[in-house]
Structure 1
Amino acid sequence: MNYLLVGIGGIVGSLLRYYLGVFTHSWWGYDFPLGTLIINLIGCFVLGWFTYHIIKMKIFHPHILAGIGTGLVGSFTTISTFSVETVTLIQHGLWIFALLYVALSLFDGLLMSWLGYQVGHRAAKKLQEKGAQAS
């Protein structure tokens, strides 16, 4: 069952990534790979939030958590596309874009993961406070 849910999550995540990339490319006509950057930053935030808030709530079966975290978010984000796009920028002599892309991906990815974790932490704290008040 775990494999099936991870596979389904992977299908959904990869399709979301593909369509968001196509959508971004349709209005962003520059050499900078903005679509992949946005996708990876969203994924960092969601996984940070998911890791703290959803997993800590313990309301979902571990198979569902694996399907969402590993399958959906794991296939939505992509290090391979990031790597190829960076090499492509370098091969086209766009060193500034390549360095900017790497720096934004790394530092903003860490920032988005931290923000997602913080949002999840605060949401879990509010739920605990509501539960304590109801008791």
Structure 2
Amino acid sequence: MTHGHLDPASREPIDPDVDLRHPAPAEVRASELPVVTAIAIGGAIGASARYLVGLAWPTPSGSLPWATFMINMVGCALIGVLIVLVSEVWTTHRLVRPFLGTGILGGFTTFSTYAVDIQGLLNDGHPVTALLYLAITVIGALAAVWATTTTTRALVHRRSR
């Protein structure tokens, strides 16, 4: 902090499941073990599903990695639905969002593979395909979250009238 002003980072929202603003004593960290466990189990499920989709839908050399693209679009769309449901509709157990959102959907979506795919396309001499993939993934992911969040919110509010 300088001159009595708040540091901009201190105004950022903090995940309500794991508060990282202050170092916690060992007994508080131990109480977070269920959250970490839920994320780990969900992540294993999501990553396994992603792996199986990749095996079922291999990418030929030099072509757009459609499996990774679709995994990321579906995952982002489901994240949009989930965030509305857990924040505006359901009163859920505290482990639902970490298990489904951070765990399963976080493990299912794969922006690290996306980056590796882009590098591979560039290394194999396919810069146009790499740039196309770069652009449509970012635009598609943002559009998927926006569309499903907006649609889910509209459906929920229409149903509640």
What is the identity percentage for the equivalent residue pairs of Structure 1 and Structure 2? 27
2:72 to 40, 52, 61: 40
Scaled by the length of structure 2, the TM-score of the pair is 0.74
Distance in structure 2 (CA, Å) of the matches to 1:116 and 1:92: 35
Distance in structure 2 (CA, Å) of the matches to 1:128 and 1:66: 26
Distance in structure 2 (CA, Å) of the matches to 1:123 and 1:17: 29
Distance in structure 2 (CA, Å) of the matches to 1:4 and 1:64: 12
Whether 1:7 aligns to 2:40 is yes
Residues 53 and 123 in structure 1, CA contact (< 8 A), matched pair in contact too: no
Greater gyration radius: 2
Q: Which has the higher contact order (CA 8 A, sep 6+)?
A: 1
After the TM superposition, which segments of 4 or more aligned residues of structure 1 sit over 3 Å from their partners? none
Residues 41 and 109 in structure 1, CA contact (< 8 A), matched pair in contact too: yes
How far is the alpha carbon of 1:109 from its aligned partner? Answer: 1.0
User: Which stretches in structure 2 are left out of the alignment for 5+ residues?
Assistant: 1-33
Whether 1:19 aligns to 2:52 is yes
- More displaced 10-residue stretch of structure 1: 45-54 or 77-86: 45-54
Residues 44 and 109 in structure 1, CA contact (< 8 A), matched pair in contact too: yes
- Superposed CA RMSD: 1.4
SS in 2 for 1:93: coil
1:71 to 73, 80, 103: 103
How far is the alpha carbon of 1:48 from its aligned partner? Answer: 1.0
Distance in structure 1 (CA, Å) of the matches to 2:36 and 2:125: 42
Q: Kindly report which structure 2 residues correspond to 1:1-135, keeping only aligned pairs within 5 A, or say none.
A: 1-25=34-58, 29=60, 31-129=63-161
